[in-house]
Chain A
Amino acid sequence: MIGQRENSPPLEGSMSIIDWFNNREKKTHESSKLDIPGDLWVKCYHCSEILYLKELEQNHKVCEECGYHFRITPEERIHFLFDKKSFKETDRYVSSVDFLDFEDTEHYADRIKKAKSKTKHEDAIIIGKAKLNDKDVAVGIMDFSFMGGSMGSVVGEKITRIIEVAAKDKIPLIIFTASGGARMQEGILSLMQMAKTSAALKKLSLVNVPYISVICDPTCGGTSASFAMLGDINIGEPGALISFAGPRVIEQTIRQKLPKGFQRSEFLLEKGMLDMVVPRKKLSDTLSSLVSLLDPHTK
C-alpha cells in the first residue's frame, strides 16, 4: 500500500525542506481540490482516486482506496484524537523575531507575516493540555504549513515549555512532529533549539513521565535529530518521511537512486527506529492504551 509512492506528485509524496522551499511559490494545498464547484471532491495524491471530501474527512483524511494519509492541520489532529472540546491551548502568542535581519529571496520578517496569515497560527507549533479518554495529557502539535514546520526559537521554546508542564504536572507528553528541520533564518540559535528541547527531555525522563513521539509526514533534519526521535515510544504515521538528511541530499552524495520506501515509517520500523506504525484511525485508541499502560502516576 504505502511505501510505493512513485506515482505521487513531488509536492506531497516526498517533501523535504528542500522540496518545500523549491515549491513554496507553487500551489501547496493540503489536499488538491479539483475545479468542481463547492470543492466537494479531492484527488488522492497516491492512487489518483477521486474522493468525496466529506467521506475523506470522516475517514480522518485517509484515502479509503489506498490508505494514503493526507497531511492535516493541528486543528484536525485535535478533532480526530482528543476528547471533545478538551484541548486548551497555552502560550499562544509567542512569535518569531527576525533578529538576524535575514534576507534571502524574501525578508524573514515578511515570511513570518505571510505564514501567520496563511495558517492563522503564531508559528509552526501549538501546545496545550487535552484529555485523552478522560486522562490529562500535555500536547504539542507541529504545523508543516507554517514555513515547512521549521524549528526556530519559538518552536524550541514552546516544545520546551510543554515538556516542563508534563514534568511539573506529571502527566504524559505527546508531541506530533511535522518539520523540515531547523529554521535557517535564525542561524545558530535555531540549531541550539535541538539541544534545548533534548535537554528538557532529559529532565522529563528523570521524573519518570512517559513521552510519546508521533512522527508525521515529513519529519527531517534538526527536528528528527532531537525531540522527534527521543520518545519513550516512537510512533510513525503510515508512509511518513522520517530522515536526518533528505533523500535528495543523499542521492547527490552517493550518486545513486534510493530504494523505494527508503526513510518511510515502515522502513524505520524495520530498522528498529520506531516502535510502531499506527494508522490515523487507530491512533487515539493506541495512544490511550499506551498512556494507561506506561504512566506510573496514573491514579
Chain B
Amino acid sequence: MQTLDFEKPLSELYNKIDELKRLSEEGNVDLSNEIEKIEERAEKLKKEVFSNLTPRQVLQIARHPNRPDSLGLAGLIFDEFLEIHGDRTFRDDPSIVGGPAKLGGFRVMFIGHQKGHDTKEKIYRNFGMPHPEGYRKALRLMEMADRFQMPIVTFVDTPGAFPGKEAEERGQAEAIARNLREMAGLKVPVITVVIGEGGSGGALGIAVSNKIYMMEYAVYSVISPEGCASILFRDSNKADYAAEKLKITAKDIVGLGVADAVLPEPLGGAHNNWPETATTIRTRIEKDLKAYKKKAPNTIMEERYAKFRAFGQFEERKEKA
C-alpha cells in the first residue's frame, strides 16, 4: 500500500514491530515486552497524526489510491446490486456507475463516481472524471428511480467533470445543469455520501440531495486547491494555503451548512478498513431510508428545495449606505 508522507513515521514503527516479531520467532527469544511498547507508541502516534491533519493532508487521504471506491462499497453495503449501463444517446461512461440495489429490505437506485485503482482501470474510468454521457446516464437512472419509487443513493468521488474537447462538444455544461434542475424535482429522497473527492460541478451533478454526508477525510470544493492556487494566487505551490482558505474538509462543509454530518472513518483512514467504512455508511443510509419512508413525495421534494434555497451568505440593506 502506498504510504503518504505524514504516515512515514508511523510506518517506520510498524516496520520495527514486524522486524522484532521476526527476530523473536527466528531466535526463539521473548521480545513481547518491547513489541508491546512500540505498538503502544504507534497507536498513540497514529491518534496524534490523524487528529492534527492539515487540509492538504486530508486531501491526500481523500485521494489515496486504496481509498474505498463506489463499486467496492456498493458490494459491501448492498444486499443486492445490479450494475446497468449507458445514457441511451451516445455511450456508456465508465466514470459514473449505477443500478438498482437492495439494502435491508429497501429498493434503492445507486449512482456513484468510479475512479479506479490500478493504472489500467484509472485510464478506463478516466480517473473518475465524467463526460456528459455520464451525467445523462445518472439522470436516466434517477428518473427511473422516481417512477418506481426507489430512493436514490449517490457516492461522490471525482476530481471534477472532464475538461476535454469532446466533453465540451457534447455539452458538459448542459448535462450538469440539467441534472441540477431535474434533481430538484425528484419526489424520492436522495442521500449522498462524499466518499473521497467532491470536485466542483462534477460532484454536484449527482448531489442535489436531501441528505449530504461527508466521510471524515473526504473533501468538497468549488475548485481543486491546485487550480485555485494557480488562478487566484498565481503560484501552484500555494496549493496548501488554498486548501486551507477554501474550507474543503468534512468539518468545514458541515460548518457551512452544506453537509448534514461527518461519518467517522476507521483510525488511519478508510483505506485501512473497507468493511468498517461500509458498515458506517450502511447504518447511516438505513436510518434515513426508514425516516423517509414516512414522508410524502411532495414533502421530500419541498424539503430538498428549501435546503438548497437557503444556501448563501450575504447582507442586505434598504437604502444605499
Residues of A within 8 A of B (CB): 17-18, 21-22, 91-97, 99-100, 102-105, 152-154, 156-157, 160, 182, 184-196, 198-203, 205-206, 221-222, 224-230, 242-245, 249-250, 253-254, 258, 262-263, 271-273
Q: How far in angstroms is the closest Cβ of chain B from A224?
A: 4
The answer to whether A229 touches B232 (Cβ under 8 A) is: no
Cα distance, A228 to B182, chains bound together (Å): 15
Q: Within 8 Å CB of B161, what residues of A?
A: 225, 244-245
B4: interface (CB < 8 Å): no
**Sampled A-B contacts (11; CB under 8 Å):** A94-B314, A97-B313, A105-B234, A152-B312, A160-B309, A188-B252, A191-B222, A221-B201, A243-B173, A250-B164, A271-B171
Top 6 A-B pairs ranked by shortest CB distance? A245-B163, A153-B312, A199-B184, A198-B180, A192-B311, A224-B173
Q: Within 8 Å CB of B315, what residues of A?
A: 94-95, 97
Known: A95-B316, A102-B245, A153-B314. 8 other contacts (CB 8 A): A156-B311, A187-B222, A188-B248, A189-B311, A191-B204, A242-B173, A245-B172, A253-B162
The bracket for how many chain B residues form the interface is 35 or more
The answer to whether B173 touches A244 (Cβ under 8 A) is: yes
Residue of A nearest to B177 (CB): A229
Cα distance, A206 to B320, chains bound together (Å): 36
Q: Within 8 Å CB of B176, what residues of A?
A: 194, 225-226, 244
Residues of B within 8 A of A (CB): 161-165, 167-174, 176-178, 180-185, 200-201, 204, 208, 220-223, 228, 231-234, 242, 245-248, 252-253, 256, 258, 304-305, 308-309, 311-320
The answer to whether A17 touches B231 (Cβ under 8 A) is: yes
The answer to whether A194 touches B185 (Cβ under 8 A) is: no
Q: Within 8 Å CB of A253, what residues of B?
A: 162-164
The answer to whether A105 touches B233 (Cβ under 8 A) is: yes
The answer to whether B258 touches A192 (Cβ under 8 A) is: yes
The answer to whether B232 touches A184 (Cβ under 8 A) is: yes
Cα distance, A226 to B320, chains bound together (Å): 30
Q: How far in angstroms is the closest Cβ of chain B from A165?
A: 15
Q: Within 8 Å CB of A96, what residues of B?
A: 314
The answer to whether A94 touches B316 (Cβ under 8 A) is: yes
The answer to whether B222 touches A244 (Cβ under 8 A) is: no
Q: Within 8 Å CB of B228, what residues of A?
A: 184
The answer to whether B168 touches A250 (Cβ under 8 A) is: yes
The answer to whether A273 touches B222 (Cβ under 8 A) is: no
The answer to whether B317 touches A198 (Cβ under 8 A) is: no
